[in-house]
Protein backbone atom coordinates (compact mmCIF):
# COMPACT_ATOMS: atom_id res chain seq x y z
CA UNK A 1 0.00 0.00 0.00
CA UNK A 2 1.46 3.31 -1.08
CA UNK A 3 0.35 6.60 0.42
CA UNK A 4 0.88 9.77 -1.49
CA UNK A 5 2.71 12.70 0.04
CA UNK A 6 -0.46 14.78 0.07
CA UNK A 7 -2.34 12.19 2.13
CA UNK A 8 0.21 12.29 4.95
CA UNK A 9 1.04 15.99 4.81
CA UNK A 10 -0.11 18.09 7.73
CA UNK A 11 -1.83 21.33 6.92
CA UNK A 12 -2.20 24.39 9.14
CA UNK A 13 -6.00 24.02 9.12
CA UNK A 14 -5.73 20.39 10.22
CA UNK A 15 -3.30 21.36 12.99
CA UNK A 16 -5.69 24.12 14.10
CA UNK A 17 -8.55 21.61 14.24
CA UNK A 18 -6.42 19.35 16.42
CA UNK A 19 -5.61 22.26 18.72
CA UNK A 20 -9.32 23.10 19.02
CA UNK A 21 -10.16 19.55 20.08
CA UNK A 22 -7.17 19.39 22.45
CA UNK A 23 -8.26 22.69 23.99
CA UNK A 24 -11.75 21.32 24.64
CA UNK A 25 -10.46 18.07 26.14
CA UNK A 26 -7.85 19.78 28.35
CA UNK A 27 -10.37 22.38 29.50
CA UNK A 28 -12.85 19.68 30.42
CA UNK A 29 -10.21 17.62 32.20
CA UNK A 30 -8.93 20.74 33.96
CA UNK A 31 -12.22 21.12 35.79
CA UNK A 32 -11.35 17.92 37.65
CA UNK A 33 -7.56 17.96 38.08
CA UNK A 34 -4.56 20.23 37.55
CA UNK A 35 -6.64 23.28 36.64
CA UNK A 36 -3.66 25.56 37.34
CA UNK A 37 -1.84 24.03 34.35
CA UNK A 38 -4.60 22.70 32.12
CA UNK A 39 -6.73 25.86 32.22
CA UNK A 40 -4.10 28.21 30.73
CA UNK A 41 -3.02 25.51 28.28
CA UNK A 42 -6.61 25.16 27.05
CA UNK A 43 -6.89 28.94 26.70
CA UNK A 44 -3.68 29.21 24.66
CA UNK A 45 -4.56 26.27 22.41
CA UNK A 46 -8.04 27.69 21.78
CA UNK A 47 -6.66 31.13 20.98
CA UNK A 48 -4.10 29.73 18.53
CA UNK A 49 -6.69 27.49 16.89
CA UNK A 50 -9.07 30.43 16.44
CA UNK A 51 -6.25 32.63 15.14
CA UNK A 52 -5.29 29.97 12.58
CA UNK A 53 -8.88 29.68 11.39
CA UNK A 54 -9.98 26.28 12.62
CA UNK A 55 -13.04 24.70 11.09
CA UNK A 56 -13.97 23.48 14.58
CA UNK A 57 -14.66 26.95 15.91
CA UNK A 58 -17.29 25.71 18.38
CA UNK A 59 -14.88 23.31 20.05
CA UNK A 60 -12.23 26.02 20.25
CA UNK A 61 -14.71 28.40 21.88
CA UNK A 62 -15.79 25.68 24.32
CA UNK A 63 -12.13 25.02 25.13
CA UNK A 64 -11.61 28.73 25.73
CA UNK A 65 -14.64 28.89 28.02
CA UNK A 66 -13.65 25.75 29.90
CA UNK A 67 -10.09 27.04 30.34
CA UNK A 68 -11.45 30.24 31.86
CA UNK A 69 -13.81 28.18 34.03
CA UNK A 70 -10.81 26.13 35.22
CA UNK A 71 -9.14 29.28 36.49
CA UNK A 72 -12.35 30.53 38.09
CA UNK A 73 -12.82 27.20 39.90
CA UNK A 74 -9.22 27.37 41.09
CA UNK A 75 -9.72 30.94 42.30
CA UNK A 76 -12.85 29.92 44.21
CA UNK A 77 -11.07 27.03 45.91
CA UNK A 78 -8.04 29.18 46.71
CA UNK A 79 -10.32 31.82 48.19
CA UNK A 80 -12.13 29.23 50.30
CA UNK A 81 -9.00 27.40 51.55
CA UNK A 82 -6.33 30.16 51.33
CA UNK A 83 -4.02 27.70 49.56
CA UNK A 84 -3.00 26.90 45.97
CA UNK A 85 -4.00 23.25 46.32
CA UNK A 86 -7.43 21.82 46.92
CA UNK A 87 -8.92 18.49 47.80
CA UNK A 88 -12.35 17.09 48.58
* Burial call 31-55: b when 16+ CB within 10 Å, e when fewer: eeeebeebbbbbbbbbbbbbeeebe
Each residue's pLDDT expressed in tens, for the chain with a length of 88 residues: 555 555 566 676 678 888 899 999 999 999 888 888 999 999 999 999 999 988 889 999 999 999 999 999 888 888 887 766 655 5
pTM of the entire predicted model: 0.78
Interatomic CA distance for residues 72 and 70, integer angstroms: 5
Q: What is the pLDDT of residue 80?
A: 83
Q: Which residues contact 37 (CB under 8 A, 6 or more apart)?
A: 30
Q: What is the pLDDT of residue 68?
A: 95
What is the CB neighbour count within 10 angstroms for residue 29? 15
Q: What is the pLDDT of residue 43?
A: 95
Q: What is the pLDDT of residue 7?
A: 53
Q: What is the pLDDT of residue 45?
A: 93
Amino acid sequence: MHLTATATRRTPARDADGMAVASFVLGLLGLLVLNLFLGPTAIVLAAVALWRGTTRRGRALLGLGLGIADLLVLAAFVQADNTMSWSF
